[in-house]
Structure 1
Amino acid sequence: MLSTLLLIGFIIGIIIYLVTYVYGKGIPNVKRSLSVLCGGIILLLVSILLIGGFEGIPFGIVSIGVISMAIIFFIVGKSSFWKKTLCLIVLLYAVVFSAYTYFDKVNYWVVDKGNVESQGLLTHLHNIEGNPTIRGYKIFNILEGSKGIFLTLGEQMRGNTIELLDVENSNGRTEIKIRTNYNNSLEKNPFIVIGLDKIESEILITDTDGTVYKEISD
């Protein structure tokens, strides 16, 4: 996520620099670089003053990428060769990174709770219902050769439901992000089953409130 946001910032910086050519080819490199710097600072101020909090962090990271490009243009912008080389490197990296992300993307879905029995998960469902103190996740083989992650919140979260936000495979780790919402659910031990076409050796499941769920030991 961090590298993606920085890359976006780099590309925005390049775009701002190129746009300055619309207003004249004779504009000095310093002014072009200052335009990029101003764009990055404006984006940074927006992330802090207008958005703020956790939601503003991604915009702040993008602004760092824009400001970094401004600094680089200050240094190498006088050389036409290095300007073209720099832009080419960033754009090629963006293409390669996008292709890698696309082919490495994990397919995931939420298993319908009515299909838990057909997926061979009925025994574990009975276990968590019989012992609501069980909290965490367990990995199962489900139909069609896929993996299923059975996550339970424990009885202390009774009345909540689970919303799956995102699943990513990165650097040998499967990261799953969820959000819990209290809505008077009747489940004694709230649960969700997440299907994945591929899974890494390390798993990290986090809630938006910062809770980290660990694997259930047999």
Structure 2
Amino acid sequence: MRFRWVWLFVIMLQLVGCQPSYWMLEKDRIGEGNPDLEIYANYLQIHDDVKGYQVFTISEGKKMVVVSLGNSENEKQLEVSDVKFSSKETIVTVKRKPAPTANEKNPYILIGLDKIEGEFIVQDEKGNRFEETDYQQ
């Protein structure tokens, strides 16, 4: 009987480990990733009216999503509220919060995703969607 519980626990750990995941990339480490990320972050500070998201492919086919608020919200910062994965869609939900110091003309966040499947949606906690920017990589 004890062996069954151990076996069940091992299977549950494997199933949990199979779920796609996400992570945050600190802005001071942006140069360690795809060089296009740093170029785009600089682009956002020059073109501070750009609001939306842009997806980049980084190492091993993983994705990096850069979400920006535009200069109208330069006193805010973003954090990830939730990420949901399914075969039909990938939904990233971000939350606006006051920034301790407004040191960016165009606040942005770097969100790494193992993969994107189906429709890709970036939204805030109220369900307002961010559009993909027209930036040409």
TM-score by length of 2: 0.78
1:215 aligns to what SS in structure 2? Answer: coil
* CA deviation string 1:19-77 (max 9, x = no partner): xxxxxxxxxxxxxxxxxxxxxxxxxxxxxxxxxxxxxxxxxxxxxxxxxxxxxxxxxxx
Matched, 1:197 2:114: yes
* CA deviation string 1:85-136 (max 9, x = no partner): xxxxxxxxxxxxx89x746622100011111122121110111110001111
CA distance in structure 1 between the partners assigned to 2:111 and 2:128 by the alignment: 18
Look up the match of 1:106: 20
Residues 81 and 125, structure 2, Cα contact 8 Å, conserved in 1: no
Matched, 1:116 2:30: yes
Look up the match of 1:152: 68
Tell me how far 1:157 sits from its aligned partner: 1.0
Residues 138 and 215, structure 1, Cα contact 8 Å, conserved in 2: yes
Tell me how far 1:206 sits from its aligned partner: 1.2
Look up the match of 2:93: 177
Question: Alignment length, in residue pairs?
Answer: 120
After TM superposition, the structure 1 stretch with the greater mean CA deviation from structure 2, 104-113 or 189-198, is 104-113
CA distance in structure 1 between the partners assigned to 2:83 and 2:29 by the alignment: 21
CA distance in structure 2 between the partners assigned to 1:173 and 1:210 by the alignment: 15
Residues 146 and 196, structure 1, Cα contact 8 Å, conserved in 2: yes
CA distance in structure 2 between the partners assigned to 1:205 and 1:129 by the alignment: 21
CA distance in structure 2 between the partners assigned to 1:186 and 1:132 by the alignment: 12
In structure 2, relative to structure 1, the CA distance for the partners of 1:186 and 1:123 (3 Å cut) is same
Unmatched 5+ stretches in structure 2: 1-11
1:199 aligns to what SS in structure 2? Answer: coil
After TM superposition, the structure 1 stretch with the greater mean CA deviation from structure 2, 201-210 or 135-144, is 201-210
Tell me how far 1:144 sits from its aligned partner: 4.0
Percent of paired sites with the same residue: 28
Look up the match of 1:132: 48
Amino acid at match of 1:116: I
CA distance in structure 1 between the partners assigned to 2:39 and 2:92 by the alignment: 24
Matched, 1:142 2:37: no
In structure 2, relative to structure 1, the CA distance for the partners of 1:125 and 1:204 (3 Å cut) is same
CA distance in structure 2 between the partners assigned to 1:212 and 1:145 by the alignment: 25
Unmatched 5+ stretches in structure 1: 1-97
Rg larger for: 1
2:45 aligns to what SS in structure 1? Answer: helix
CA distance in structure 2 between the partners assigned to 1:179 and 1:108 by the alignment: 16
CA distance in structure 2 between the partners assigned to 1:145 and 1:204 by the alignment: 19
Residues 85 and 91, structure 2, Cα contact 8 Å, conserved in 1: yes
